[in-house]
């Protein structure tokens, strides 16, 4: 059986969650021992580092200036279709095999429309609705997204498969203090800090996190200096209120917007943090929570959407709409050393539940089940 995969998002240099998913899931699928053939579609020639793991897969580079998916990839599907097409991080092309599998990562634009610009909401609405209707099977990252897909689009339960993403093995605790301090110095941050990593955009709830940080500093015990707040991630949309919240907090020198964190800096930055704060309004999965746990950092995250599935009993869960709940939970982690120890140990155990090898095996079982059906 020939399985085609849109690998275009795997070639993105500055990866957010969906691009990381695309890279890791394609890499894991190619590593599974199976009798099937693989064909990878790229918009442009991938870097040599990507070529190193493509192995015996057929690499098809099909450049096109605009509307690559719906025009160029559609043409490829019309002229040289695979038996199954898998879309790990994008919409199905207009022309696609009847046996197609699409991934829907989240429906945050439906749950929190005010956190998305109108054009982005329209694009996400049309693309998600198209995937939900046209794909023979839909893969989602969590039970929460499955419930949303059924609620908003009436997608039949049999069509939806929850297949959890994995943990990226190279993101693990850095024990070398010199390496941690080197990363901190390159980013211009102090040794003591609360960390957030993710795209800087309204859905991540960063205005309330900044307000919680202000509250935390007011309640900090006298005689010691509270940690700084570090916000890592590339700027997304509608960032004005976030930047304004930093400026109006009166703590501009204590709240650090450090930009996109390169892969080579991420483990050290996570390992050096005193606590990882992730009060997002909505997540389809939440890779940063797993990554922080893998680096031995206690996590405070939201009690909504998929985050309880990802965090398990290893994090303190908070109401993302309650600034004082966020502040109180952060303060509790700092004040209770035994709690910190239990959270770190539970975090290491929780990470073990998520494996890209398991993700790939479950996807392959889905492809084989689909391949046995009439076209």
pLDDT at residue 249, rounded to an integer: 83
Instruction: Using DSSP, state whether 138 is helix, strand or coil.
Output: strand
Q: pLDDT at residue 153 above 90? A: yes
Q: What is the pLDDT of residues 85-139, one digit of tens each?
A: 999 998 999 999 999 999 999 999 999 998 889 999 999 999 999 999 999 999 9
- Contact present, 103 and 91 (Cβ < 8 Å): no
Is the alpha carbon torsion for 32, 14, 140, 120 positive or negative? negative
pTM: 0.93
DSSP per-residue codes, 146-206? HHHHHHHH---GGGEEE------TT------HHHHHHHHHHHT--SSEEEEES-BSGGG-H
Cβ neighbours of residue 20 closer than 8 Å, sequence gap 6 or more: 168, 287
DSSP per-residue codes, 289-356? HHHHHHTT--EEEESSTTHHHHHTTSSEEE-TT-HHHHHHHHHHHHH-HHHHHHHHHHHHHHHTT--H
- Contact present, 164 and 142 (Cβ < 8 Å): yes
DSSP 8-state symbol, 217: H
53 vs 100: CA distance, rounded Å? 24
88 vs 102: CA distance, rounded Å? 6
Q: What is the pLDDT of residues 278-327, one digit of tens each?
A: 999 999 999 999 999 999 999 999 999 999 999 999 999 999 999 999 99
Average of per-residue pLDDT values in the chain: 94
Q: pLDDT at residue 197 above 90? A: yes
Structure tokens at 365: 């079982």
Q: How many residues does the chain have?
A: 375
The CATH code of domain 2-166+355-371 reads 3.40.50.2000
Cβ neighbours of residue 253 closer than 8 Å, sequence gap 6 or more: none
- Contact present, 135 and 101 (Cβ < 8 Å): yes
349 vs 276: CA distance, rounded Å? 17
Please name the residue that has the structure tokens 């207009």.
Answer: 94
pLDDT at residue 247, rounded to an integer: 86
Domain limits, the chain: 2-166+355-371, 177-351
Question: So what CATH class is 177-351?
Answer: alpha beta
Domains 2-166+355-371 and 177-351 share a fold: yes
For the chain, what is the radius of gyration of the CA atoms? 21
Cβ neighbours of residue 322 closer than 8 Å, sequence gap 6 or more: none
Q: pLDDT at residue 13 above 90? A: no
- Contact present, 224 and 334 (Cβ < 8 Å): no
């Amino acid at each position: 059986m020939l399985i085609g995969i849109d690998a275009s998002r795997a070639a993105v240099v500055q990866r957010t969650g969906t691009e990381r998913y695309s890279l890791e899931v394609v890499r894991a699928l190619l590593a599974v021992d199976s009798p099937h053939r693989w064909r990878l579609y790229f918009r442009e020639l991938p870097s040599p580092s990507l070529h190193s793991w493509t192995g015996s897969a057929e690499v098809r580079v099909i450049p096109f200036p605009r509307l690559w998916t719906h025009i160029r990839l559609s043409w490829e599907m019309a002229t040289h279709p695979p038996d199954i097409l898998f879309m790990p991080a994008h919409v199905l092309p207009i022309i696609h095999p009847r046996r197609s599998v699409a991934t829907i990562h989240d429906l945050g634009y439906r749950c929190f429309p005010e956190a998305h610009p109108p054009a982005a909401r329209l694009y996400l609405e049309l693309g998600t609705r198209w995937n939900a209707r046209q794909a023979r099977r839909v893969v989602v990252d969590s039970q929460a997204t499955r419930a949303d897909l059924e609620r908003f689009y009436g997608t039949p339960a049999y069509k939806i498969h929850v297949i959890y993403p994995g943990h990226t093995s190279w993101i693990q605790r850095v024990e070398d203090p010199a390496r941690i301090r080197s990363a901190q110095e390159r980013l211009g941050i102090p040794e003591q800090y609360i960390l957030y990593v993710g795209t800087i955009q309204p859905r991540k709830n960063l205005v309330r996190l900044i307000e919680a940080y202000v509250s935390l500093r007011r309640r900090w015990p006298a005689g010691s200096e509270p940690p700084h707040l570090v916000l890592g991630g590339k700027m997304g949309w509608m960032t004005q209120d976030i930047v304004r919240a930093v400026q109006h907090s009166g703590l501009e020198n204590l709240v650090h917007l450090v930009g996109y964190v390169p892969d080579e800096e991420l483990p050290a930055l996570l390992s050096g943090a005193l606590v990882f704060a992730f009060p997002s309004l909505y997540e389809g999965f939440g890779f940063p929570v797993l990554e922080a746990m893998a680096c031995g950092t206690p996590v405070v995250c939201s009690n909504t959407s998929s985050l309880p599935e990802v965090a398990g009993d290893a994090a303190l869960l908070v109401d993302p709409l309650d600034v004082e709940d966020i502040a109180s939970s952060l303060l509790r982690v700092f004040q209770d050393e035994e709690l910190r120890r239990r959270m770190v140990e539970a975090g290491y155990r929780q990470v073990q539940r998520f494996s890209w090898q398991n993700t790939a095996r479950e996807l392959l079982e889905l492809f084989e089940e689909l391949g046995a059906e009439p076209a």
